Amino acid sequence: MPVSKPTLTYFDFPGRAVSARLALFNALGKDGWEDNRINFDTFKEEKKKWNNNGDASAEPNITAGMLKTRMGYVPQLELPSGKAYTQGFCIARYACMLGEGKYAKNLYPVADAELCLAIDEIVNALDEMVNLTLRLTMTFFLD
Ligand SMILES: N[C@@H](CCC(=O)N[C@@H](CS)C(=O)NCC(=O)O)C(=O)O
Protein backbone atom coordinates (compact mmCIF):
# COMPACT_ATOMS: atom_id res chain seq x y z
CA MET A 1 0.00 0.00 0.00
CA PRO A 2 1.47 3.42 -0.91
CA VAL A 3 2.25 5.99 1.74
CA SER A 4 -0.37 8.71 2.32
CA LYS A 5 2.18 11.53 2.29
CA PRO A 6 5.79 11.94 1.14
CA THR A 7 7.90 9.76 3.43
CA LEU A 8 11.60 10.30 3.96
CA THR A 9 13.44 7.28 5.32
CA TYR A 10 16.83 7.71 6.96
CA PHE A 11 18.66 7.10 10.22
CA ASP A 12 18.04 9.09 13.40
CA PHE A 13 20.81 11.61 12.78
CA PRO A 14 21.32 14.45 10.27
CA GLY A 15 23.91 12.81 7.95
CA ARG A 16 22.96 12.76 4.28
CA ALA A 17 19.30 13.55 5.03
CA VAL A 18 19.76 16.95 6.61
CA SER A 19 19.22 19.04 3.47
CA ALA A 20 16.25 16.90 2.37
CA ARG A 21 14.65 17.22 5.82
CA LEU A 22 15.13 20.99 5.87
CA ALA A 23 13.76 21.40 2.35
CA LEU A 24 10.73 19.16 3.03
CA PHE A 25 9.98 21.08 6.22
CA ASN A 26 10.28 24.36 4.33
CA ALA A 27 7.97 23.17 1.54
CA LEU A 28 5.40 21.07 3.43
CA GLY A 29 5.65 22.16 7.05
CA LYS A 30 5.80 19.72 9.95
CA ASP A 31 2.75 17.61 9.08
CA GLY A 32 2.88 17.50 5.28
CA TRP A 33 5.45 14.69 5.17
CA GLU A 34 6.66 11.77 7.27
CA ASP A 35 10.13 11.76 8.82
CA ASN A 36 10.65 7.99 9.01
CA ARG A 37 13.71 7.39 11.19
CA ILE A 38 15.01 3.83 11.23
CA ASN A 39 17.78 2.12 13.16
CA PHE A 40 20.66 0.12 11.69
CA ASP A 41 19.05 -3.25 12.46
CA THR A 42 15.86 -2.30 10.61
CA PHE A 43 17.96 -1.04 7.70
CA LYS A 44 19.84 -4.35 7.48
CA GLU A 45 16.57 -6.32 7.54
CA GLU A 46 15.09 -4.11 4.81
CA LYS A 47 18.13 -4.62 2.60
CA LYS A 48 17.85 -8.40 2.97
CA LYS A 49 14.38 -8.33 1.42
CA TRP A 50 15.89 -7.38 -1.93
CA ASN A 51 18.11 -10.44 -1.76
CA ASN A 52 15.23 -12.90 -1.15
CA ASN A 53 17.71 -15.45 0.11
CA GLY A 54 19.39 -15.50 -3.27
CA ASP A 55 16.19 -16.11 -5.28
CA ALA A 56 16.47 -13.31 -7.85
CA SER A 57 13.10 -14.17 -9.47
CA ALA A 58 11.10 -13.59 -6.26
CA GLU A 59 9.40 -10.24 -5.67
CA PRO A 60 10.90 -8.40 -2.69
CA ASN A 61 8.56 -8.12 0.28
CA ILE A 62 8.56 -4.34 0.60
CA THR A 63 6.31 -2.45 3.01
CA ALA A 64 5.24 1.18 2.70
CA GLY A 65 7.68 3.60 4.20
CA MET A 66 10.55 1.15 3.94
CA LEU A 67 13.31 0.59 1.41
CA LYS A 68 11.64 0.55 -1.99
CA THR A 69 14.58 0.98 -4.29
CA ARG A 70 16.92 -1.78 -5.27
CA MET A 71 19.80 0.69 -4.83
CA GLY A 72 19.39 0.05 -1.12
CA TYR A 73 20.40 3.56 -0.22
CA VAL A 74 19.01 5.94 2.30
CA PRO A 75 17.89 8.70 2.34
CA GLN A 76 14.91 7.53 0.32
CA LEU A 77 11.78 9.53 -0.48
CA GLU A 78 8.63 7.49 -1.09
CA LEU A 79 5.71 9.33 -2.68
CA PRO A 80 1.95 8.67 -2.54
CA SER A 81 2.20 7.73 -6.25
CA GLY A 82 3.96 4.55 -5.07
CA LYS A 83 7.32 5.58 -6.52
CA ALA A 84 10.46 6.01 -4.45
CA TYR A 85 13.68 7.90 -5.05
CA THR A 86 17.13 8.07 -3.49
CA GLN A 87 20.00 10.63 -3.51
CA GLY A 88 19.71 13.13 -0.67
CA PHE A 89 20.52 16.29 -2.60
CA CYS A 90 18.16 15.36 -5.45
CA ILE A 91 15.37 14.86 -2.91
CA ALA A 92 16.21 18.25 -1.37
CA ARG A 93 16.17 19.91 -4.79
CA TYR A 94 12.79 18.30 -5.56
CA ALA A 95 11.37 19.60 -2.27
CA CYS A 96 12.68 23.09 -3.05
CA MET A 97 10.65 23.02 -6.27
CA LEU A 98 7.37 22.04 -4.55
CA GLY A 99 6.33 25.60 -3.80
CA GLU A 100 7.87 28.92 -2.98
CA GLY A 101 8.70 27.72 0.56
CA LYS A 102 7.05 28.52 3.88
CA TYR A 103 10.15 29.94 5.56
CA ALA A 104 12.94 30.41 3.00
CA LYS A 105 11.58 31.44 -0.41
CA ASN A 106 12.57 30.21 -3.87
CA LEU A 107 15.50 28.03 -2.82
CA TYR A 108 15.74 26.48 -6.30
CA PRO A 109 14.49 29.08 -8.83
CA VAL A 110 13.96 26.87 -11.91
CA ALA A 111 13.23 29.85 -14.18
CA ASP A 112 16.79 31.14 -13.72
CA ALA A 113 19.14 28.54 -15.19
CA GLU A 114 22.34 30.33 -14.20
CA LEU A 115 21.22 30.74 -10.61
CA CYS A 116 20.39 27.02 -10.51
CA LEU A 117 23.87 26.32 -11.88
CA ALA A 118 25.40 28.40 -9.07
CA ILE A 119 23.27 26.57 -6.49
CA ASP A 120 24.18 23.15 -7.92
CA GLU A 121 27.86 24.07 -7.88
CA ILE A 122 27.69 24.72 -4.12
CA VAL A 123 25.59 21.61 -3.48
CA ASN A 124 28.00 19.36 -5.39
CA ALA A 125 30.96 20.90 -3.55
CA LEU A 126 29.19 20.12 -0.27
CA ASP A 127 28.65 16.55 -1.46
CA GLU A 128 32.38 16.22 -2.11
CA MET A 129 33.05 17.48 1.41
CA VAL A 130 30.63 14.93 2.90
CA ASN A 131 32.27 12.13 0.92
CA LEU A 132 35.75 13.23 1.95
CA THR A 133 34.70 13.49 5.60
CA LEU A 134 33.28 9.96 5.51
CA ARG A 135 36.41 8.61 3.82
CA LEU A 136 38.69 10.31 6.37
CA THR A 137 36.54 9.07 9.26
CA MET A 138 36.69 5.50 7.99
CA THR A 139 40.43 5.74 7.31
CA PHE A 140 41.50 7.19 10.64
CA PHE A 141 38.82 6.38 13.22
CA LEU A 142 37.11 3.12 12.34
CA ASP A 143 40.12 0.83 11.99
N1 LIG B 1 24.76 9.34 -3.11
C2 LIG B 1 23.85 8.95 -2.06
C3 LIG B 1 24.61 8.13 -1.06
C4 LIG B 1 23.71 7.55 -0.01
C5 LIG B 1 24.45 6.70 0.96
O6 LIG B 1 25.63 6.35 0.78
N7 LIG B 1 23.75 6.37 2.03
C8 LIG B 1 24.32 5.51 3.02
C9 LIG B 1 23.94 5.99 4.41
S10 LIG B 1 24.60 7.59 4.74
C11 LIG B 1 23.74 4.13 2.83
O12 LIG B 1 22.57 3.98 2.59
N13 LIG B 1 24.60 3.13 2.94
C14 LIG B 1 24.14 1.78 3.00
C15 LIG B 1 24.71 0.89 2.00
O16 LIG B 1 25.35 1.34 1.03
O17 LIG B 1 24.48 -0.31 2.17
C18 LIG B 1 23.22 10.20 -1.42
O19 LIG B 1 23.89 11.24 -1.43
O20 LIG B 1 22.10 10.13 -0.93
Band of the pLDDT at 41, cuts 50, 70, 90?
A: very high
Q: What percent of the chain has pLDDT over 70?
A: 96
Q: Residue 38 Cα, ligand 1 centroid: separation in angstroms? A: 14
> What amino acid occupies position 108?
Y
Mutational test site, ligand 1, from 74, 85, 87, 134, max ligand atoms within 8 Å of CB: 74
Annotate 1-70 with DSSP letters as a single string.
---SS-EEEEESSSGGGHHHHHHHHHHHTTTSSEEEEE-HHHHHHHHHHHHGGG-TTSPP-PPTTS--ST
The average pLDDT across 2-24 equals 95
Question: What is the overall mean pLDDT for the chain?
Answer: 90
Say yes or no: domain 7-108 is CATH 3.10.450.50: no
**pLDDT digits over 44-103, tens only?**
888 887 777 667 677 777 777 788 887 778 999 999 999 999 999 999 999 999 988 999
**Taking the domains of the chain in order of start, what are their residue ranges?**
7-108, 109-143
